[in-house]
Each structure stands twice: as C-alpha cells, then as structure tokens.
Amino acid sequence: MKKIVNDIIREELYYEKLENGLDVYYMPKKGFTKKYAVLATNYGSNELEFIPIGEDKKFRVNEGIAHFLEHKMFEQPDGGNAFDKFSKLGSNANASTNFTMTSYLFTATENFYESLDHLIKYVQTPYFTDENVEKEKGIIAQEIKMYDDDPNWKVYFNCLKGMYVNHPVRIDIAGTVESIYKITSEELYKCYNTFYNPGNMALFVIGDLDPDKIMEVVENANNFDVEKLNSEIVRFYPEEPTHINEKEIVEKFPISMPSFCMGFKDDKVGIEGRELLKKEVVTDILLDQIFNKGSELYEELYNSGDINDSFGSAFSSQIDYGYTIVVGESNDPKKVQNAVFEYIDKVKEQGLSEEDFNRIKKKKLGQVIKSFDSIITIANNFISNKFKGINMLDYLDVIKEVKFEDVSDRLKNHLKEEFSVMSIVEPK
C-alpha cells in the first residue's frame, strides 16, 4: 500500500486502488482499542437522473430512492438481516444516507477482520423483491411523517427550498410518502448496479490493525460484478440559477417559541479538491468571527434576550452547491434577521478584526489536531471529503495558508442580503 505521512500531526495513511477501482484507505492508531470501518459510495439523494450502466438513455428515479436502497441493503437472500451477524461478532453497525453519499459502517473491539469481511460481502449482496420492497414502504413512510412533524427538520428544509430553485438539495433525503410508494425492485437494482460500483466507492479503516491483513480480507471478500467495474457514471443535474427561489417561508407548529433558519446561498461553486477545502476553511473562520459565541453580534442579541444559546452558524458545501445557515430560537426572528444584516453591513464598512482572525485561526488549528484523537471523527470526515477530492491530511496546511484578506473578501462576496432566505416555524 502507498504510504502518505503528515509530519506535523504525525499521522500516517496507507492507500491502495484495487484493480476493480475500489479505493482502500487505512490509518493506523497504535494503542487504540476501538476499530472502525466505513464503506461508502459516492451516491446520495441528489442523484435523480443518470444513465444506468449497460443502458444508453437517461433515467429518472423516484425521490428518496438512495435512502430506500440503504434500508434494503441489510436484508439478505437467506432471510436474515446483516445486523444479526454483526451482533454475534460483537460489532456495532449502522448506515446513513445524505445528499451526496451513502455509507455502511461498524465499530468493533474484537473480531474486526470477520466484521470487515461481512461488511464488504453484504454490501455486494443486494436482495430486492416485490414483496420486501412493498413491506419497507410502510416503514419509511412512518419515518418521513416523523420528520415532517419535527420543527427543526422542517425549518431547515424550508430554508433549502427557499434558497434553491431546481437543485435536488431542496428535496428531502427520504423523499415523500407519495414518491417512495412508486419505488420498484427493478428501479432499486438499476440504482444499485450503477452506483454501487467499486470505481464509485471507497473503504476507510482505522485502528490498531495489520495493513496486510486488511488487504487480504478486502481482496478475498471482494466479489463485485465484473460488468460494472470502473464503469463511468453519467449523471445529470438541473441548471441552478444564482438567484434564490423564495425570500421567506413561515410555517406553524405546536411549539412554545419560534425558531428560524437564515440561509445565504453560495454562488462560488464548481470547484473541488484543495481549492474547495480552502473555501470551507475561510468561510468557517468568517462565520466564527461574525456569529459564534464571543462575537459582538452574539453578545448584543443574547444580552438583549433576542436569542438564546441555540444560536449558531454553519457552512455546508459540495462541488456543485454550498450555503451558510444561521439558526436559533427567538420570540422575534425578524428582529434578529434585521440585526444580522445591520451588523454585516457595519463590519463590511469598518472591516473585520485581524486580532480576532488570528485567534480563531489558532483555535481552528487546535480543533483539527484534537479531532485526530477520535477515530470516528477521522473516518467520517475523511470519507465525506474524499468524494470532493479533499485529503483530510491537508487541513492543517490549508488553515496555515489562509490570510486575513481571504476572510475579508469572503465577507464581501458571500454574506449578501440578495442571496439570503429566512425560514421560520412559529407557534400555532
């Protein structure tokens, strides 16, 4: 395996690309009891139009199918469930689907190699029938209804719907009750055969383990269909305009205090790799200066009673989209929104504090170094960034490269009122 070393944090990363295209990564953590593995595919809820492998025409799937497929992967041809064997081995397994990725994972302190073998094998063993697909629809429909009743989920997705006109990020990851009831076993196999393609997947393993043994298990368990090895996936996304879709969305819920999600749509998209990583780091530093605890805006709003300690901000970005959200609870969300705009205008006119920039930059460096103490944080960060062309080991170098001028420019070009959306849920 190829070895990558970061001398600053004294971490090593082993990497090998198998003949079938699967990327395998291993990070040794000497002395750690817990071990972790995640097998992920570059496929999430945003993938609604593509050309299935072996076909030549564009195919449109039903919304929520990536999440539905994740649910069905645990059902095995022998009538068992993939979770059962993990339990017998003493491993804790799970899976998740987001907008861009589906991942299957487990943690273990013993029987790791047996669990790794099982992980790879069951993800290569789809079993979809008309009967088990119909059975799953009722389960997922209940999950969708549960999220529809969650005000925090609703205020967030309404914000995405306000920001995006056409992009599928505005669609709930699980789809709708109506869309999932249209899903068929044939449609699931089309998605599986296209996206659960070793050239579209990656395995990340971390812990106190033997790299040779890892590769032996991976190669012996690897049985992907040769017809789809390294096949190029043709994906289609609707054209997304720069402007926002809707300025304000208000919905009523049985809650005691209004909550809000204020969004700023990012128009700097289409970049990946180290350039995308730098944009993320610069934006994170900017948001820390403007919105987080200790900032002038936070202190003013908190001391006046207009917000509570739920107030905060975050930046989310992929290659083809990105956005900042500012969330919180307030008896007067509109007042908070106006205060945010006034403060941003003030800072744009007077300039950011370079002293605060240097302090926050040092804090970010410390946070990244500390994150390498958690194998779960390392694995999840690595695998999610891998499909964006980002190497997590570059974080420290990129943070060091960021200059005060980069953050000042980002303030002027990103936090604009014309690209902002306000989503509110208020008491019935």
pTM of the model: 0.94
Rounded Cα distance, 38 and 36, in Å: 7
Residue 400 makes CB contacts below 8 A (sequence gap 6+) with: 365
Residue 34, burial from CB neighbour count under 10 angstroms (0-12, 13-18, 19+): middle
CATH number of the domain that 315 lies in? 3.30.830.10
Tell me the Cα Rg of the chain.
23
What string of pLDDT tens digits covers the 428 residues of the chain?
A: 888 888 778 889 999 998 888 999 999 999 999 999 999 999 999 999 999 988 899 999 999 999 999 999 999 888 889 999 999 999 999 999 999 999 999 999 999 999 999 999 999 999 999 999 999 999 999 999 999 999 999 999 999 999 999 999 999 999 999 999 999 999 999 999 999 989 899 999 999 999 999 999 999 987 765 555 556 899 999 999 999 999 999 999 999 999 999 999 999 999 999 999 999 999 999 999 999 998 999 999 999 999 999 999 999 999 999 999 999 999 999 999 999 999 999 999 999 999 999 999 999 999 999 999 999 999 999 999 999 999 988 999 999 999 999 999 999 999 999 999 999 999 99
Among all residues, which ones are annotated catalytic?
70
Domain membership of residue 179 as a residue range: 2-236
Rounded Cα distance, 94 and 107, in Å: 9
Report how many domains make up the chain.
Answer: 2
Q: What tokens appear for 212 in the block? A: 């040779």
Rounded Cα distance, 89 and 92, in Å: 9
Whether residue 243 lies inside any domain: the answer is no
Domain boundary among 207, 236, 265: 236
Domain boundary among 189, 212, 236: 236
Residue 423, burial from CB neighbour count under 10 angstroms (0-12, 13-18, 19+): buried
Block residue for tokens 């209940």: 142
217/279 same-domain check? no
Domain boundary among 193, 213, 236: 236
